[in-house]
Amino acid sequence: MRLIYGPEYTLPDNLNRLRQRNVSRKRFLALREFALGLEALERFVWREPLRRVHECVFAVLAMERNVISTKIKTSPSFAEFVILVSLLMSLTALSIDAMLPALAQIGLDLSVENANERQLVVSMIFLGLALGQLFLGPLSDSTGRKLAIYAGLGLFMIGTLLSMLAISFPMLLLGRFIQGIGVSAPRAVSLALVRDQYEGRAMARVMSFVMTVFILVPMIAPTFGQAILLFTGWRAIFGSYLLLAAIILTWFALRMPETLARENRAPFSSRRIVLTMREILTIRPALGYTVTAGLVSGVFIGYLNSSQQIFQDQYGLGEQFPLYFAILSSAVGLASFLNARLVMRFGMRLLVRRSLTFVFGLSIVSVGFALSVAGIPPLWILMVYLLLSFFCIGILFGNLNALAMEPLGHIAGTGAAVVGALSTLISVVLGTLIGQSYNGTVMPLVVGMAILSGLSLAMVHWAD
């Protein structure tokens, strides 16, 4: 029993949990295996032939064989687990970025007069994401991981169907909002799935594979959307979302076991969420880095909102837009990949300060240059500016969240949900403001990046 459940299994609380789990068969096996172990040790001490010692060892293996083979049949392999979790996590990025090439067509079909209003197709899914992760993440700690994923994917499919059949722009936006709420569950619960199943180096190995896929998806998602548009209309993109979600849901239901045992679940409490929010507001580092994460993400959402108009309308790139988008996304992906090594050498705080200082200085210079060319710089200069800025933003993403969570270890689960919701809500408001200010030039984006990076620097100084 000590080998199976750990040295502290005899504590009263742990014994009560074990009694509720009907462990009589496991106890019986453990006692027999213990007796066989003693027998093997005794034969070895009395210098009996090794085959006699091995008889006891093989007897233990034979007793465990049925248990092990059952687990293999009901649980996914390592590769299957990684693929499934990667699909769950990448659904968010695919739902956002694959729609970008279709914004102009959506505006025409649904009679959107103001071109900037098309950006709300992007903003609304982020709004749903902010509100959804505040509840669906903690819900998974109460009902189990599978039920939370079922609820999220179900809502995502309802929102997708509503968007696909939309006959008006407000109906489409409602569908995108529901999509955002739904997709927040896979995003929030996927890490918990990995943490439930693996730990230490094994967990790091899983997350490295998952993050590789997560980085690649934003690079190829617009190309995926553009490829669909070459053969059919924008509604087919939502159809592909529906098909993908159905495949993931079926695969997850059939192959993924529940990873959170009943005795480890905590009752859902809106009061706990409110108390966590109050605590974050009173801890300067947690609040400061949460707001900073929102400011930095606001820069990126502002770019996402206006990228289609900048590249396709302003620079006339047409079907080449996904290629330029992929190049810029690669800068964020490369930074995320290198950050694991850089943070061990320089530390999170130094990287955050240096990255923000660089983005702020570069944006100030870019504002001056953009003013000198009436807000329409040569495309290659804009690409260099955005590549350098997004590399720094990629460094900032992971480090800011980690710094915000650093003083919240005692409330890590609910704290992560609240930090994610608050930062996303801030970024949605600011990113939408930047996007809605688009005037046919890059000035709103460049000025927005300068202001938000400057505010981020001030907030980091305040937090420290």
Nearest of 222, 424, 425 to residue 328 by alpha carbon: 222
Tell me, yes or no, if the two domains 77-268 and 269-464 fold the same way: yes
Segment of 56-65, 101-110, 340-349 carrying the highest mean pLDDT: 101-110
- Rounded CA separation 259/19 (Å): 20
The residue extents of the domains of the chain are 2-73, 77-268, 269-464
Mean pLDDT, the chain, integer: 85
Whether residue 328 has pLDDT greater than 50:
yes
User: How many angstroms separate the CA atoms of 105 and 169, rounded?
Assistant: 12
C-alpha to C-alpha distance for 262 and 413, rounded to whole angstroms: 17
Longest dimension (CA), the chain: 93
Q: 188 with 133: CB under 8 angstroms?
A: yes
- Nearest to residue 312, comparing CAs of 130, 100, 39, 11? 100
Over residues 413-421, the mean pLDDT reads: 80
Query: What topology is assigned to 77-268 in CATH?
Result: Growth Hormone; Chain: A; (1.20.1250)
CA distance linking residue 363 with residue 389, whole number of Å? 8
Q: How far is CA 42 from CA 46, 89, 331, 441, in A?
A: 6, 53, 63, 84
Instruction: Tell me the whole-structure pTM to 2 decimals.
Output: 0.79
pLDDT of residue 1: 56
**Residue 30 — pLDDT band, cuts 50, 70, 90?**
confident
269-464 placed in CATH 1.20.1250.20: yes
- pLDDT, tens digit, 9 for 90 and up, residues 343-358: 888 888 899 999 999 9
Q: Per-residue pLDDT tens for 68-78? A: 433 334 567 78
Q: Is the pLDDT of residue 65 over 60?
A: no
Measured in whole angstroms, the distance separating CA 64 from the mean position of its chain's CA atoms is 37
Count of H helices and E strands in the chain?
18, 0
- Helix, strand or coil, per DSSP, at residue 439: coil
CB 459 within 8 A of CB 449: no
Instruction: Name the CA radius of gyration of the chain, rounded.
Output: 26
157-215 pLDDT tens trace: 999 999 999 999 999 999 999 999 999 988 778 777 877 777 666 666 776 677 777 77
| Inter-residue contact 31 to 40 (CB < 8 Å) | no
Banded model confidence at residue 17, pLDDT cuts 50, 70, 90: low
* DSSP H or E run through 93: helix 78-97
Question: Which ranges of 144-168 does DSSP label H, i.e. alpha helix?
Answer: 145-164
**What pLDDT, on the 0 to 100 scale, is given for residue 71?**
38
pLDDT over 90 percentage in the chain: 50
Q: What is the pLDDT of residue 194?
A: 78
Cα(456)–Cα(261) distance, integer angstroms: 41
Q: 350 phi and psi, to 5 degrees?
A: -65, -40
pLDDT at 410: 64
